[in-house]
Structure 1
Amino acid sequence: MLAEETFNDKQIHILQVAETLFAEKGFDGTSIRNISKEAKINIAMVSYYFGSKERLLESLVMFRTKNLKTLIGNLVTENIEPAAKINKLIEIYIHQINSNKGIYRILHFEVASKKRDTTFKAFNELRKNNFKSLETIIKDGQEKGVFKNDISIPLVTPTILGTFFHFHMNKEYFVELLNLDTEELYNNYIKTNLTKHIQQTIKALLIYES
């Protein structure tokens, strides 16, 4: 896999084009020829930079998710209370995923199909790293007596993401229900109301009742 620092402007352009096509047509429904045509470059250039379509997908996963990994990793060492860290963690998750819906749509299909072990392993490593960060934050809160001890930590992330993806997968329903007539209103609702709702839900799971 390529390191993100090595990506030049042409590589990033190819990744962005591939992401759009993979999200629209699926990985199997997109060819290197499709990507090169849409990106307006020679087919050989795609192979030169990424080697294969599978390696391109693997690089795309890292390119789009590395920022999430970095932000969550930095959050662990930030000098704020555990409850504030959890709230910030939720904000990071929701913002990053809402801003990169294409790659998460691709990943959802790839993980479900299990056709490409390399890509699945790359994504699984990301999830493991993020889980370790979450676990560190929660255990710190437990040691400080802020969080309950009977918490199923592996279920916290699915609770966060499950709520978001249910909302997003039923976009038309919620747009009509909540009068979110424009994309700006929809995204702002996610940033404020939905994020706050998820924070309150996780708080209820983690923190002792006063």
Structure 2
Amino acid sequence: MSKGELNDKKIQILEVAERLFSEKGFEGTSIRDISKQAKINIAMVSYYFGSKERLLESLILYRTSDLKLQLENLLEENLEPLDKVNKLIEIYINRINSNRGIYRILHFELTSKKREKNLFAFTELKRGNLKSLETIVQEGQSKGVFRKDVIIPLITPTIMGTFFHFHMNKPFFEELLNLKTESLYNDYIKTSLTKHIQQTIKALLVYEN
């Protein structure tokens, strides 16, 4: 669901749902809670989205459709494969960091098999994003700069996993690294953490000298 297809009421519902899912979890939030907070009639919420699962799916697509576009644009850029990988990591970290609510939901709520089946469109989106990554890595392999034995589907969890471990232990790292304000914390993610992840992925991809 692209932003163009959404009216203000739908966006309002999605943004309230995002906040509640993020705070109370998917199971802990009801359509009633969402309609009450959004000050929109419960029947209207059901009319727009059908079920809570469908609402979650719409929310995911609303928040992640521009990521897909950014990755597709990246493929067209005239850059060396390693530069593309570095840029892809920047895009990912930037997206997750500016949409922590939705990614927290994705990280913790989508582990159940039942829910994964309901989120077909999201699975398709992930497949599309993986395809973009595969294209970049295969280009590097054909140029002889990337190793042939790299397991491409494990690259994304390596990027995301490092970010989430850092973010889920925020108080620990804030103290350890002396990141006293929110802006220092965010700057650290944009610079040092992103660079660390880029070096990690480079070590996986590039032949040792």
* TM-score scaled by length of structure 1: 0.93
Q: CA RMSD in A?
A: 1.5
Letter in 1 for 2:81: P
Aligned to 2:57: 58
Measure the CA separation in 2 of the matches of 1:144 and 1:84.
Answer: 14
Which blocks of at least 5 consecutive residues in structure 2 are unaligned? none
Percent of aligned positions that are identical: 70
Aligned to 2:205: 206
Relative to structure 1, the CA distance from residue 185 to residue 111 in structure 2 (aligned partners, 3 Å threshold; closer, same or farther) is same
Measure the CA separation in 2 of the matches of 1:59 and 1:77.
Answer: 28
Deviation at 1:44, TM superposition (A): 2.0
Which blocks of at least 5 consecutive residues in structure 1 are unaligned? none
Deviation at 1:120, TM superposition (A): 3.5
Measure the CA separation in 1 of the matches of 2:54 and 2:149.
Answer: 41
Report runs of 4+ in structure 1 exceeding 6 Å deviation: none
Q: Is the 8 A contact 2:150 2:204 kept in 1?
A: yes
Letter in 2 for 1:65: T
Aligned to 1:127: 126
Measure the CA separation in 1 of the matches of 2:177 and 2:68.
Answer: 32
Deviation at 1:3, TM superposition (A): 4.7
Measure the CA separation in 2 of the matches of 1:189 and 1:170.
Answer: 14
Aligned to 1:97: 96
Measure the CA separation in 2 of the matches of 1:125 and 1:109.
Answer: 19
Question: What is the aligned length?
Answer: 209
Measure the CA separation in 2 of the matches of 1:15 and 1:118.
Answer: 21
Deviation at 1:129, TM superposition (A): 1.0
* TM-score scaled by length of structure 2: 0.94
Deviation at 1:85, TM superposition (A): 0.2
Q: Secondary structure at the match of 2:110?
A: helix
Letter in 1 for 2:183: E
Residue 180, structure 1, aligned to residue 179, structure 2: yes
Deviation at 1:189, TM superposition (A): 0.3
Measure the CA separation in 2 of the matches of 1:178 and 1:164.
Answer: 15
Aligned to 1:190: 189
